[in-house]
Amino acid sequence: MLSIKTPLIQSLVLSQLNQCQVWLKMEALQASASFKQRSIGYACQKYFEQGAQRFVSSSGGNAGLAVAYTGRQLGVPVTVVVPETTAQRAQELIAQQGAEVIVQGASWVEANALAQSLLTPDDVFIHPFDDPLLWDGIIPMIDEVIAAGVVPDAVVLSVGGGSLLSGVVAGLNKHGLGHIPIYAVETHGTASLNASIIAGQHVELDRVSGIATTLAAKKVCQNAFDLSQQFDIHSQVVSDQAAVNACLKFADDHRILVEPACGATLSVLYDQKIQFKLTDQVLVIVCGGAGISLKTLQGLNG
């Protein structure tokens, strides 16, 4: 099994704090620790059925780890090319899945260039966020919520390159919920969707910064920008510190460790950034993330 049905649990702490019903979709519990196991697992499965002989990725983060895990499950070799800046721990986690890890260049641009140059006609490059197959793989997340009897009045989720947003909107649409508000959360240093919404056009940031490296796409995918113009999507931008604080509180409250990329979303609830109604069922996507340890998190807590 590539991805699992995740628990949907009510957070009493966050429900009471926000005076509404807060439901946590626990994507942190996927085998590779994030929702990417759904998106990348699904895309890899489809490419495998089409004859892919190898998967190539240039992500040292949760995407690379999801490709490595999926390749091992399907018996397909995986090569992940990462820049020198990729944490040793992340490289180890990917290698542990049996993937070949190649370290190349000072930044992702060089690593990605090498990854592209390695591709033969039998290989498939797995993009971390910009592929409709990835978004299709996320739709079952919303199916599960509906099947559990929860009909959300709002969704809160994190945005990096926009695959999670794309998949969640597709899932909501499938269930006739395309009208509900979605709170799309980024950190100050990674707010590429926010910049595009403010500019009213699909823009690229000059640079990205901060600790939520998993959200650090200079530009969201075209689909995510288009959705922001067509659906009720509200941008929320939070500080790195707020994201870290939320990770720590969440670990205490729910005994699950998540990356600041996910803490960003949780901070919107912990810091009561949105005024909900008492009867609102608020779906929070606990997107997860493998790139964190308790020690790192405590070290970030300034």
Ligand X SMILES: *Cc1c(COP(=O)(O)O)cnc(C)c1O
Comparing CB distances to ligand X, the nearer of 155 and 280 is 155
When binding is defined by CB under 6 A, the residue of 56, 78, 164, 205 that contacts ligand X is: 164
Task: Report how far apart, in Å, the C-alpha atoms of 300 and of each of 33, 147, 157, 271 are.
Answer: 20, 38, 22, 18
CB of 295 to ligand X, least distance (A): 19
Between strands 8-10 and 154-158, the pairing is unpaired
Q: What is the DSSP string of the chain?
A: --S-PPPEEE-HHHHHHHTSEEEEE-GGGSTTSBTHHHHHHHHHHHHHHTT--EEEE--SSHHHHHHHHHHHHHT--EEEEE-TTS-HHHHHHHHHTT-EEEE-SSSHHHHHHHHHHH--TTEEE--SS--HHHHHHHHHHHHHHHHTT---SEEEEE-SSSHHHHHHHHHHHHTT-TTS-EEEEEEGGG-HHHHHHHHTS----S---SS-GGG--SS--HHHHHHHHHS-EEEEEE-HHHHHHHHHHHHHHH-----HHHHHHHHHHHTT-S---TT-EEEEE--B-SS--HHHHHHH--
Comparing CB distances to ligand X, the nearer of 11 and 214 is 214
Q: 10 Å Cβ neighbour count for 2?
A: 19
Contact segment (CB under 6 A) with ligand X among 118-126, 237-245, 247-255, 287-295 equals 287-295
CB of 138 to ligand X, least distance (A): 8
Comparing CB distances to ligand X, the nearer of 21 and 166 is 166
Residue 159 found at the interface with ligand X (CB under 6 A): yes
Residue 191 found at the interface with ligand X (CB under 6 A): no
When binding is defined by CB under 6 A, the residue of 41, 60, 71, 162 that contacts ligand X is: 162
Using Cβ positions, the residue closest to ligand X within the complex turns out to be: 160
Contact segment (CB under 6 A) with ligand X among 8-16, 17-25, 161-169, 276-284 equals 161-169
Residue 289 found at the interface with ligand X (CB under 6 A): yes
Residue 130 found at the interface with ligand X (CB under 6 A): no
CB of 239 to ligand X, least distance (A): 17
CA atoms of 100 and 93, how far apart (whole Å): 11
Q: What is the contact mask toward ligand X in residues 77 to 96, using x (rule: CB under 6 A)?
A: --------------------
Q: What is the contact mask toward ligand X in residues 252 to 281, using x (rule: CB under 6 A)?
A: -------x-xx-------------------
Q: What is the contact mask toward ligand X in residues 25 to 64, using x (rule: CB under 6 A)?
A: ---------x-x-------------------------x--
Phi, psi of 283 (to 5 degrees): -95, 120
Contact segment (CB under 6 A) with ligand X among 118-126, 139-147, 202-210, 282-290 equals 282-290
CB of 212 to ligand X, least distance (A): 8
User: Cβ distance 70 to 44 under 8 Å?
Assistant: yes
CB of 262 to ligand X, least distance (A): 5
Comparing CB distances to ligand X, the nearer of 124 and 184 is 184
Residue 214 found at the interface with ligand X (CB under 6 A): yes
Beta bridge partners of 22: 282
Residues that bind ligand X (CB under 6 A): 34, 36, 62, 129, 158-165, 214-215, 259, 261-262, 287-289
